[in-house]
């Protein structure tokens, strides 16, 4: 029988789909590898049973946690991620771990020791990207191998696969869902996200079961109970009629690289909302053009620190040669265990944190990140509940920013934009692209990640002759997740009518 690091692969759905790596039927065989089993959380009353697929960088009892990396080829976590335990208590049965980009570093789920994830919407004989880095989770949902799947979103890794495969991809507000048990890529950006075929299931799971209220003391980025209550009081619990909503169209997101069919779907959706009474207005987020550069400085910098532990001593697979050859301790283990993209980002991050580059790169990127957050806070009607209300300073705005009145520019409830600038590319085309070209795929999802805001990708198909649906993104103010999900549900139903 085939194995992955000693784990049997009976009926593992690897083959052409490469979505689920280790399935439910192997769970009992792997339980012995878990050294200590955490106490189960008490079950939630009236929990609805459902099948859950888990991204391979989230620790899960009874399954290996490899992060699609050779350096963790034999790793079984001694504990289970809090989010998995929480969902088990809500009726989840884990059906498998899903393929991904190695350590979450990628936009197409091709940087994996298990091979690339292929989009099931592609025509027969075509090999098309499923998006990344949570591509396996998205495909597991599309193929009905799971009712809901866990992914992680650092710069768009839940929303991009959702857009490419025509499902729902939700990134909650940073700090809402626990990251304990998630193998970190970039701590200040990593967010556990959910993928499903409909919005309502996600809303029920997060809000009806009160998952959003649960603080995890094991996760230093998990908001405290008091902060959660304050944030919830600052955000309206229900969504009003469309006639009472203002939706912003960020002008900086209308980039030259945007596919004309995606732009047409964006315009059609905005027009449909306007026809139902919503107010549609253009808004400016001037720091957006710097967001991608800032992200690819900050994320690799954090990754270079997080991945330092994989040395073949504490974590990782040691090679057959001597680790101390040439007065180096673990060059062989890291060189053989990490893939090319991970090595590239470690080098980028290490350089930006060096004494020579810290001021010119890392510090400047942090300043840009703050400007991006301030841009979002200016355009939303709701104040950011994490900060004291801040009056507009018109001198800080671009001279061509349209103003509603003398007090400042128009403010909105939500932002509507495309999720990705193009439809999913062929895997053969991705191999021909430079790293910078591949990074451009994240240009529309990275700003919300840098600001820690909730965002969701929903599928829209205006042109029925087109092979793939268009992923459109809705962004809301921090902790306005409940209304964001309700708005996403309205958009899906409106465009399907």
Whether 133 is a known active-site residue: answer yes
The verdict on whether omega for the bond into residue 133 sits within 30 degrees of 0, i.e. cis, is yes
Tell me, what DSSP letter sits at residue 315? B
Beta strands in 125-230 (DSSP E): 148-153, 168-171, 191-196
| Distance (Å, whole) CA 251 – CA 249 | 6
Closest by CA to 412, choosing from 276, 281, 238, is: 281
| Distance (Å, whole) CA 150 – CA 140 | 10
Distance of CA 68 to the CA centre of its chain: 17
Helix axes 291-306, 363-379, angle to 10 degrees: 130
Given the residues 107, 129, 137, 157, the one annotated as active site:
157
Closest by CA to 32, choosing from 2, 49, 69, 7, is: 7
Closest by CA to 133, choosing from 186, 57, 20, is: 57
Q: Are 26 and 88 in contact (CB under 8 A)?
A: no
| Distance (Å, whole) CA 310 – CA 321 | 17
Closest by CA to 111, choosing from 64, 57, 184, is: 57
φ/ψ (deg, to 5) at 475:
-125, 140
Using a 10 angstrom Cβ sphere, with 0-12 exposed, 13-18 middle and 19 or more buried, the burial of residue 264 is middle
Residues 6+ apart with CB under 8 A from 270: 247, 249, 280, 416
Tally of CB atoms within 10 A around 456: 32
- What value does the CA radius of gyration of the chain take, rounded to a whole number of Å? 22
The partner residues of 194 in beta bridges, in order of sequence, read: 150, 170
| Distance (Å, whole) CA 196 – CA 228 | 25
The partner residues of 281 in beta bridges, in order of sequence, read: 248
Whether 55 is a known active-site residue: answer yes
Q: Are 337 and 316 in contact (CB under 8 A)?
A: yes
Closest by CA to 63, choosing from 99, 94, 105, 17, is: 94
Tokens of 290: 């710097």
Tokens of 305: 């620190």
Tokens of 455: 């965002």
Whether 97 is a known active-site residue: answer no
Given the residues 133, 222, 287, 449, the one annotated as active site:
133
| Distance (Å, whole) CA 415 – CA 236 | 17
Given the residues 55, 112, 134, 222, the one annotated as active site:
55
Active site residues: 55, 133, 157
């Amino acid at each position: 029988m085939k194995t992955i690091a000693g784990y049997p692969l009976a009926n593992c759905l690897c083959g052409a789909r490469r979505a689920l790596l280790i399935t439910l039927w192997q769970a009992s065989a792997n339980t012995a590898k878990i050294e200590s089993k955490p106490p189960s959380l008490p079950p939630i009353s009236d929990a609805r049973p459902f099948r859950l697929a888990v991204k391979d960088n989230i620790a899960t009892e009874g399954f290996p946690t490899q992060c699609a990396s050779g350096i963790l080829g034999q790793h079984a976590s001694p504990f289970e991620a809090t989010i998995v335990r929480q969902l088990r208590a809500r009726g989840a049965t884990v059906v498998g771990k899903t393929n991904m980009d190695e350590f979450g570093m990628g936009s197409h789920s091709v940087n994996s020791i298990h091979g690339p994830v292929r989009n099931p919407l592609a025509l027969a004989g075509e090999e098309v990207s499923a998006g990344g880095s949570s591509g396996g989770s998205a495909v597991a949902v599309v193929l009905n191998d799971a009712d809901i799947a866990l992914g992680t979103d650092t710069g768009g890794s839940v929303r991009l696969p959702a857009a490419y495969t025509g499902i729902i991809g939700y990134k909650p507000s940073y700090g809402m869902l626990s990251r304990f048990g998630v193998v970190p890529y970039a701590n200040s950006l990593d967010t556990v996200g959910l993928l499903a075929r409909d919005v309502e299931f996600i809303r029920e799971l997060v809000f009806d079961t009160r998952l959003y209220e649960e603080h995890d003391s094991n996760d230093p980025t998990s908001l405290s109970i008091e902060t959660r209550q304050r944030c919830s009081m600052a955000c309206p619990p229900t969504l009003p009629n469309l006639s009472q909503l203002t939706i912003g169209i960020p002008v900086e997101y209308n980039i030259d690289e945007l596919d004309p069919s995606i732009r047409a779907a964006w315009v059609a959706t905005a027009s449909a909302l306007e026809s139902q009474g919503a107010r549609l207005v253009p808004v400016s987020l001037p720091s957006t053009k710097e967001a991608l550069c800032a992200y690819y400085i900050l994320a690799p910098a954090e990754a270079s620190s997080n991945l330092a532990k994989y040395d073949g001593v504490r974590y990782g697979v040691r090679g057959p040669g001597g680790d101390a050859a040439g007065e180096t301790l673990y060059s062989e283990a890291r060189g053989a265990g990490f893939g090319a993209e991970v090595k590239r980002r470690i080098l980028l991050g290490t350089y930006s944190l060096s004494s020579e580059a810290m001021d010119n790169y890392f510090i400047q990127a942090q300043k840009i990140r703050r400007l991006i957050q301030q841009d979002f806070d200016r355009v939303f009607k709701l104040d950011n509940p994490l900060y004291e209300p801040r009056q507009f300073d018109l001198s800080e705005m671009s001279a061509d920013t349209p103003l509603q009145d003398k007090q400042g520019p128009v403010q909105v409830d939500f932002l509507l934009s495309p999720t990705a600038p193009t439809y999913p590319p062929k895997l053969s085309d991705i191999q021909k692209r430079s790293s910078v070209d591949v990074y451009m795929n994240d240009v529309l999802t990275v700003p919300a990640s840098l600001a820690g805001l909730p965002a969701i990708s929903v599928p829209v198909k205006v042109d029925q002759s087109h092979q793939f649906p268009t992923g459109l993104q809705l962004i809301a103010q921090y902790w306005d997740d409940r209304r964001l999900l309700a708005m996403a549900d309205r958009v899906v139903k409106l465009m399907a009518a």
